[in-house]
Structure 1
Amino acid sequence: MDLDVFVAAHRAEWERLDALIRRRGRLTGAEAEELVRLYQRVATQLSQLQSSAPDPALASRLTTLVARARSAVVGSRRATWRDALLFFTVRFPAACYRTRHWWVPTALLFTAVVAALGWWIADDPQVRASIAAPDELREMTRPGGAYESYYSSSPAAAFSAQVWTNNAQVAGMSLAFGALLGLPVLWVLLQNAVNLAAGLGLMASADRLDVFLGLILPHGLLELTAVFVAAGVGLRLGWTVIDPGPRRRTTALAQEGRAALGMAVGLAAVLLVAGAIEGFVTPSGLPTWARIAIGVAAEVAFLLYVFVVGRRAVAAGETGDVAAADRPVEAPVAA
């Protein structure tokens, strides 16, 4: 495509569309029809430009013009409580279900790595000695030591907020770093696996594995599942960079990226529940079985939410992307 010829051929249409958008007062019937017609033409021209002769400056100008024209044609739309309800009952569970082939294997592999590392630490004194001095290890694993006192080190509400913020950052990093071929996501997962395995192995070596599991399982099941979902989505986004499938790479990244941003909001809500459990249930005086039962119930509820509600939404055609009216206009263009 000759860019200068393209601009010369369509500049008059762009200027006319801009003039109609800026027109004060009501348009006549003929002007409204012209606005719609020009909006459709310029949207097609934008697609042609992006696919054949990408020019950042011109593409940015036309993108802004098309967005303003779409707003003039369909009107602006404000987010409502109905949008939030639709997100949490349809789009978010659908997005989680669509990415299950990424985060379920991630969860299984993570669990296997933690179990192997934990067994290694518990079985090998030299490995434990490389972590900390014997006196420090005894202080961490004794009754009332660091592993137990951690969950009651702050008031429950403040502790829950702190935990939620930290976990939301981990999930957000996994989602954001996915575009970098997913490699940083693997590093985040490895760090979390090593930290969890260290606690598992050290408490097991002190014959206090039951105490450790009683502390980690109530909140850890749901918390780690949210991290796995975020990591799986990040890895999927990274793979989209490598293999976008039949879509253009920019289109594929835009679609998956919008879904990932939406999932960040949904996972923040899931992690808020996990943080509340960690702040109020984990350090509570409830029997161990009752605390674990609460954690298992929260985990089962989330899995049913994904694999029942999400599966139905996907079967109905939902992808987890934003509403069609909020997506950029894309027109089919011959290669």
Structure 2
Amino acid sequence: MDLDVFVAAHRGEWDRLTALLRRRRRLTGAEADELVVLYQRTATHLSQLQSSAPDPVLVNRLTTLVARARSAVVGTRRATWRDALRFFVVAFPAACYRSRHWWVTTGVVFTLLVAAMGWWIAANPEVQSTIAAPDELREMTRPGGGYESYYSSSPAAAFSAQVWTNNAQVAGMSLAFGALLGLPVLWVILQNAVNVATGVGLMASADRLDVFLGLILPHGLLELTAVFVAAGTGLRLGWTVIDPGPRTRAAALAEEGRAAIGMAIGLAAVLAVSGAIEGFVTPSGLPTWARIAIGVAAELAFLTYVFVLGRHAALAGETGDTAATDRATEVPVAA
């Protein structure tokens, strides 16, 4: 591209757009239409310059001009409670539903892995001896020991906040690591599987697996499902790097990345619920069946939320991405 020729050919359009922006509150109907056309043309010019002749001074000038024009054409708006309502009723459940194959598969593999490792630990005393000394194992698995006292080790509110923070970090890491082809996500999931399997195996070896399940199921069903959703979304994002489909890789990553950021916010809310259950319900004096029933109810509510609301929104074309008016303008550029 000959930059001087390009500037000479289009400077008049840029100057005209600048003039229209200066008096945009007093434009006639024809002038408003002209402003929209010039905005689209200038956005195309900017894309062409960025890809072919990235002169920093000119790119900076056109970037500012396009931003001003976009504000005039699209208008500015403030986030309202309706945006939050739309996110939780439409965008978030749709994003969860769209990635369901990834996180359901992650959950199944995780469960099978925990069952296999738990059985291996329970059936092999030599494996247990590598985890801790015999006295320490007895202390962890006895009635009122480490596994049971853990859930009442702090005041319920403080414990809930601590658990929520930790789980939100795990979910956030799973989502963020997706951009690295998803490989670190597998490590995060494996670490969590080992932790759960260790508890299963040690308590099973002490004939107290029922107690362990009674402690972990009330909050663990929803908590682990949220972790599975985060991991599945991270893996999906990683696969997008490899296979973006009909979209360009940059466009695919931008779309899926924006949806992943939204999911981080939604999953933080889900994990806040599981954290409250873990802090107030798990260590409570309720019968085991009642505590588990609360956990099952929370899990069924989330699954209904995803597979009813989410499915409906996804079939209507919702992807979990930000609203079209909040995205950067995308203008096709000739190859």
TM-score (normalised: structure 1): 0.93
1:122/1:204 contact within 8 Å kept: yes
Tell me by how many angstroms 1:7 deviates.
4.8
The equivalent residue for 1:26 is 25
Residues 1:291 and 2:291 aligned together: yes
The equivalent residue for 2:333 is 333
Instruction: Tell me the distance in 1 between the aligned counterparts of 2:75 and 2:193.
Output: 49
1:171/1:226 contact within 8 Å kept: yes
Tell me by how many angstroms 1:327 deviates.
1.4
Q: For residues 57-112 of structure 1, give each alpha carbon's deviation from its aligned partner in whole angstroms, at most 9, with x where no partner exists.
A: 56666455433321122211111111111111111110000001111101101111
Instruction: Tell me the distance in 2 between the aligned counterparts of 1:206 and 1:129.
Output: 14
AA at the equivalent of 2:90: V
Residues 1:166 and 2:166 aligned together: yes
**Secondary structure of 1:284 counterpart:** coil
**Please, which runs of 5 or more residues in structure 1 have no aligned partner?**
none
AA at the equivalent of 2:118: G
Residues 1:91 and 2:91 aligned together: yes
Residues 54, 124 of structure 1: alpha-carbon distance in 2 compared, 3 angstrom cutoff: farther
Residues 64, 190 of structure 1: alpha-carbon distance in 2 compared, 3 angstrom cutoff: farther
Residues 126, 234 of structure 1: alpha-carbon distance in 2 compared, 3 angstrom cutoff: same
The equivalent residue for 1:305 is 305
Instruction: Tell me the distance in 2 between the aligned counterparts of 1:279 and 1:202.
Output: 23
Instruction: Tell me the distance in 1 between the aligned counterparts of 2:53 and 2:310.
Output: 37
Instruction: Tell me the distance in 1 between the aligned counterparts of 2:290 and 2:125.
Output: 34
Instruction: Tell me the distance in 1 between the aligned counterparts of 2:85 and 2:220.
Output: 27
Runs of 4+ more than 2 Å apart? 1-21, 23-28, 30-35, 43-50, 52-68, 331-335
2:95/2:319 contact within 8 Å kept: yes
Instruction: Tell me the distance in 1 between the aligned counterparts of 2:207 and 2:55.
Output: 62
The equivalent residue for 1:259 is 259
**Please, which runs of 5 or more residues in structure 2 have no aligned partner?**
none
**Secondary structure of 2:302 counterpart:** helix
Tell me by how many angstroms 1:326 deviates.
0.9
Residues 2, 156 of structure 1: alpha-carbon distance in 2 compared, 3 angstrom cutoff: farther
2:167/2:271 contact within 8 Å kept: yes
How big is the alpha-carbon RMSD for the aligned residues of Structure 1 and Structure 2?
2.0
2:20/2:27 contact within 8 Å kept: no
Residues 9, 317 of structure 1: alpha-carbon distance in 2 compared, 3 angstrom cutoff: same
1:3/1:53 contact within 8 Å kept: no
The equivalent residue for 1:193 is 193
**Secondary structure of 1:26 counterpart:** helix
AA at the equivalent of 1:197: A
Residues 76, 290 of structure 1: alpha-carbon distance in 2 compared, 3 angstrom cutoff: same
1:47/1:330 contact within 8 Å kept: no
The equivalent residue for 1:70 is 70
**Secondary structure of 1:328 counterpart:** coil
2:281/2:291 contact within 8 Å kept: yes
The equivalent residue for 1:323 is 323
Tell me by how many angstroms 1:206 deviates.
0.8
The equivalent residue for 2:249 is 249
Residues 1-335 of structure 1 mapped to structure 2, 5 A cutoff: 1=1, 5-7=5-7, 9-18=9-18, 20-21=20-21, 23=22, 26-29=25-28, 31-49=31-49, 52-53=51-52, 55=54, 57=56, 62-335=62-335
2:95/2:263 contact within 8 Å kept: yes
Instruction: Tell me the distance in 1 between the aligned counterparts of 2:167 and 2:64.
Output: 36
Over the matched positions of the two proteins, sequence identity in percent amounts to 81
Residues 328, 137 of structure 1: alpha-carbon distance in 2 compared, 3 angstrom cutoff: same
Instruction: Tell me the distance in 1 between the aligned counterparts of 2:301 and 2:53.
Output: 47
Tell me by how many angstroms 1:18 deviates.
4.5
Tell me by how many angstroms 1:17 deviates.
3.4
Instruction: Tell me the distance in 2 between the aligned counterparts of 1:172 and 1:266.
Output: 11
TM-score (normalised: structure 2): 0.93
Instruction: Tell me the distance in 2 between the aligned counterparts of 1:15 and 1:139.
Output: 79
Residues 152, 258 of structure 1: alpha-carbon distance in 2 compared, 3 angstrom cutoff: same
Deviates more, 1:40-49 or 1:201-210: 40-49
Instruction: Tell me the distance in 1 between the aligned counterparts of 2:245 and 2:55.
Output: 24
Instruction: Tell me the distance in 2 between the aligned counterparts of 1:112 and 1:56.
Output: 56
Residues 25, 42 of structure 1: alpha-carbon distance in 2 compared, 3 angstrom cutoff: closer
Tell me by how many angstroms 1:184 deviates.
1.1
Equivalent residue pairs, number: 333
Residues 42, 148 of structure 1: alpha-carbon distance in 2 compared, 3 angstrom cutoff: same
Residues 132, 207 of structure 1: alpha-carbon distance in 2 compared, 3 angstrom cutoff: same
Instruction: Tell me the distance in 1 between the aligned counterparts of 2:108 and 2:5.
Output: 56
Tell me by how many angstroms 1:20 deviates.
4.3
**Secondary structure of 1:312 counterpart:** helix
AA at the equivalent of 1:300: L
Residues 28, 5 of structure 1: alpha-carbon distance in 2 compared, 3 angstrom cutoff: same
Tell me by how many angstroms 1:332 deviates.
3.0
Tell me by how many angstroms 1:161 deviates.
0.8
